[in-house]
Amino acid sequence: MAHSSPGTTVPLLRSNRTSWRSVSETRRAYLDHAATSTMLPEAKEAMREAMELRGNPSSIHADGRRVRDLLDVAREALAGRLRCAFAEVVFTSGATESANHALLGLALAHQSGARKRILASAIEHPCVLQLAPVLGQLGFRLETVPVSRDAVADPQRWADRLSDDVLAVAIQHANNEVGTFQPVREVAELAHRVGATVFVDAVQTMFEPWTVDELGADLVALSGHKIGGPAGVGALYVRAGTRVNAWIRGGSQERERRGGTENVLGIVGFGAAVRTLLRRSGDLREARAASRDAFLRRLAENLPGAWTPTVPLQSALSGHAHLLFPGVDAERLLIAMDLLGVSASAGSACSAGSIDPSPVLLAMGLDPKAARSGVRFTFGWSSTPEEAEWAADRVAEAHGRVAASRTG
């Protein structure tokens, strides 16, 4: 390993990788906020200040208590946002851990019981659906409930499957890929009638006005980096009285519900982002909506008839625009867009150099070819209509290049 000589400045962020260097760096438009949003200035500043402190939040000395106070302030912010009790907020490493904690923790707490079925929407995030094998090893069966072509759950389908052997239901407040809101309250009421616990993935809806009681949720997964906080931190709301066993052990942190020293810097940044949301949620939602609408208007002007919304946009999140480009492969379009300076996603996993058909789009009833033509454009608090219009121009140009190469 090479060492620098005295007085030499070594870049803190340095990479020898060159895979990104062919893309446009003169100007870029970021339209992938559903994956990770731009960090809020308030979150950055709070984390900078916290870096000056030392001490473990579990220590009883003054340094430890001072750091512990920072966690309490962040927990109070989350509790205020959710309208829940301070003690009902558990900090985690992110929403994936929160979902695992909720469903595996429920299973561990109820292994000796008669309820062995868990119902989940067919368009849930992989952090829920991929738990099926593990839940099976614990003696539980994860079953999926179909959705409509518009990616919306039908409460009647849930009612038909609910019975007193169902331990829990898992349903997103809004889908992370196409953005559709789900009838969470109706499903929760049906589930509670048979004594089932309700887990809600609310990762994409922190900008929206809701409380845990309005959702009817017993467990809610949240994420920091989707709202302008840092990555690597999340939270799980656990309604008082809900039996969920800890599955990360090794300490008494988080009231013995999640072992391990808390990610203080991440939690501080998350809390600061939540406090900003509490003050400016309306403005931040409007910024997302205005940018999305500007993008769609310009794209309709530049590329008429070449695309269609995957779902009715009025039923989706204000910052989401999932579009189908018939006859165009999403992977090729994304690469062309990236080279022109636009970051977006297909909302599906990349494998061996090709994009597999999106499980969400397939669950909606699209055929594999149509599913491979879907692109997700998502806007955040830092998006602007001007950026969105510039991006739409680049998308139209990229589409033209891909279409020409296909027919040429």
Residue 96 lies in a domain: yes
- Annotated catalytic, 350? yes
Q: Which of 244, 275, 306 is the last residue of a domain?
A: 275
Of 51, 350, 386, 406, the catalytic one is 350
Which residues, in sequence order, are bridge partners of residue 237? Answer: 89, 220
Angle between the N-to-C axes of helices 264-302 and 62-82, in degrees from 0 to 180, rounded to the nearest 10: 40
Residue 4 lies in a domain: no
pLDDT at 17: 53
Residues 253 and 340 in one domain: no
pLDDT at 408: 56
CB 139 within 8 A of CB 116: yes
In total, the chain counts a number of residues equal to: 408
- CB-based contacts of 329-334 (< 8 A; 24+ apart in sequence): 329/355, 329/372, 329/373, 329/402, 330/355, 330/372, 330/373, 330/374, 330/375, 331/355, 331/372, 332/402, 332/405, 333/375, 333/398, 333/399, 333/402, 334/375
Structural domain harbouring 399: 29-39+281-407
Low-confidence ranges of the chain (pLDDT < 50): 1-11, 18, 20, 348-354
pLDDT at 247: 84
Cβ contacts of residue 381 below 8 Å, gap of 6+?
Answer: 37, 38, 40, 207, 228, 284, 287, 288
Closest CA to 32 of 150, 177, 173: 177
- What CATH number does the domain containing 337 carry? 3.90.1150.10
> What global pTM score does this model have?
0.92
pLDDT at 257: 86
Q: Which of 227, 258, 275 is the last residue of a domain?
A: 275
pLDDT at 22: 53
**Tally of structural domains, the chain:** 2
**DSSP output for 285-352:** HHHHHHHHHHHHHHHHHHSTTS-EESS-GGGB-TTEEEEE-TTS-HHHHHHHHHHHTEE-B-SS-EET
* Tokens found for residue 185: 């309250």
pLDDT at 1: 44
Residues 385 and 267 in one domain: no
Query: What is the rounded CA–CA span in Å between residue 406 and residue 163?
Result: 52
Residues 215 and 295 in one domain: no
Give buried/exposed letters for 312-321 (b at 16+ CB in 10 A, else e): ebeebbbbbb
pLDDT at 9: 46
Q: Amino acid identity of 202?
A: A
